[in-house]
Amino acid sequence: MSTLKAQPRLYSSRESILTLKAHLSGKQAKIPKNPTMEDYITYIKKLSNRLKQGPLDFWIPNVFRRLIQVIRLMSSEDGFFPIKDKEKNFKELGLTILRKSIRSKTTVETGSETGSNAIQQDVILPSIEQVLEELEAHSDDINTFASTHFFTNEVLLVYEYSTTVLNFLLSAKKTRNFEIIVLESETENLGKQFATDLGKHNLNVTLTPFTNAYAIMQRVNKTLLGVDAILKNGGLLMHPGTYAICVLAKQFAVPVIVLSGAHKLTPKYAFDQTTFNQLVSPLKINPNSTIDQMSIGITFDYVPPEYISLYITNQGQYTPQSIYQLFSDFYNVKDEDI
C-alpha cells in the first residue's frame, strides 16, 4: 500500500492468498466432498468477502479476482483467449492441457493424479503459487522500466511514502543522476521517513511542506506517484492531496507517472470525490495529528484519468485510455461482483 492507516488492515493481498492456501491445505475449506472447479471459485469468492475490511478495501477482492482468472486459464475453463492463445499461456506456466467438453470435468495434467480430486493439487494450488509469484516479483518487473524514463539531472517530485516508488528510484539511480523533491503530507507525515530512506542510498533529496507545491512545480520535470487503486476508467484513488498535485502538474505541463502492481487494478468506476470515500476525523487517518478533531478529512483523493500521463505496472506500460486492455487480460468480467 502507499499509505498507512491508524487501524492497520488485518490482511495484505499476499496474506489473504496465504490464508486461502492454509484453508485448502488444512482441509478447513467448506466445499463439497467431490468439488468441481465452480465449487472452488464460489468458495474463493466467499472467503474474499469474509476477509475484506469494509467497502473501501479493494486489495483483497482484487487479488482474489486475479486468482480466479488464473484458475480459469489453467483449467481452460471460460478463458478470454482463443484456444491457440490459451495453449501458449499454459505452456508458459509449465502445464499441459487435457481438455474435455464438460467444464466441471476439465483437468490439467502436471504428472500427478487426475480426476475431480486432482483439481486442488493440479489447478488451485498451482494457481495460488502463480499469484504469489506475481505479488513477490511485481516491484522488480516495474523496475525494468526505470532507466527509460529519466534524463540526467532531472528534478522528480514524489508524494507520501511508496515502497514501489522507492524501489523504482533506487533502480533508476544505477544509470541516472537526478534530484528528488518529497512533498510532506498535511496528515500522515510520512514524507520525512520517505526522504530519510532515500537519503540512506545517497540520493539527492529535498523535503518540503505540501504548501510549497505550487512554488516548486515550475522546477519539476516529472511527478512519480504510488497508488491505492487504479479504476477501470483510467482514474485512480490515492492519499488526500494527490488530486491537487496532479492538477498543478497539468497546469505546468509536468508528466504524472503512476507506479503500481497490477493487483491494484480495481474494476470499478468513480464519478467524483465521493463515489469511493469516507468522511472522517483526521485522527482516524493519523492519530498523532494536531488538526482540530472537529475538522473533516477524507480517506482518498480521486484523480480523473485526464490528469495521468502514464501507468507503469508489472504487466507493462499503459496510458489511462488504454488501461482497460490490462483489465481485460488480468480479470474475468464474470468476477467483478466480488
Q: What's the CA gap between 213 and 184, in Å, rounded?
A: 10
More confident residue, 290 or 306: 306
Whose cell is 523496475? That residue is 143
Assess contact for 228 and 260: CB atoms under 8 A: no
C-alpha cell at 321: 485510455
- The average pLDDT across 251-255 equals 97
The yes-or-no verdict on residue 180 having pLDDT over 90 is yes
CA distances from 159 to 22, 151, 181, 190, 322 (A): 37, 20, 9, 9, 25
More confident residue, 116 or 226: 226
- Percent of all residues in the chain with a pLDDT value above 90, rounded to a whole number: 56
Cβ neighbours for 236, distance < 8 A, ≥ 6 positions apart = 227, 228, 229, 230, 242, 258, 302, 303, 308
Smallest CA-to-CA distance from 143 within 166, 161, 118 is with 166
Q: What's the CA gap between 153 and 176, in Å, rounded?
A: 8
Assess contact for 103 and 78: CB atoms under 8 A: yes
Pairing of strands 178-184, 310-313: unpaired
Smallest CA-to-CA distance from 276 within 229, 227, 326 is with 229
CA distances from 33 to 38, 39, 40, 116, 300 (A): 13, 10, 11, 10, 44
Q: Which of 106-115, 120-129, 214-223, 323-332 has the lowest mean pLDDT?
A: 106-115
Cβ neighbours for 278, distance < 8 A, ≥ 6 positions apart = 56, 298, 299
Whose cell is 532507466? That residue is 147
Model pLDDT for residues 17-30, shown as the tens digit of each residue: 999 999 888 777 78
- The average pLDDT across 314-326 equals 94
Assess contact for 63 and 45: CB atoms under 8 A: no
DSSP designation for 12:
-
More confident residue, 85 or 82: 85
Number of other residues whose CB lies within 10 A of the CB of residue 174: 9
Assess contact for 160 and 195: CB atoms under 8 A: no
The band of 283, judged by pLDDT with boundaries at 50, 70 and 90, is: low
Assess contact for 1 and 228: CB atoms under 8 A: yes
Assess contact for 109 and 45: CB atoms under 8 A: no
Residue type, 291: I
Q: What's the CA gap between 84 and 82, in Å, rounded?
A: 5
More confident residue, 88 or 178: 178
The yes-or-no verdict on residue 155 having pLDDT over 60 is yes
Strand-pairing partners, residue 98, are: 107
In whole numbers, what is the pLDDT of the chain averaged over residues?
82
The SS3 assignment for 162 reads coil
Q: What's the CA gap between 224 and 204, in Å, rounded?
A: 16
C-alpha cell at 287: 492519530
More confident residue, 225 or 338: 225
Assess contact for 29 and 23: CB atoms under 8 A: yes
The band of 279, judged by pLDDT with boundaries at 50, 70 and 90, is: low
pLDDT value of residue 5: 39
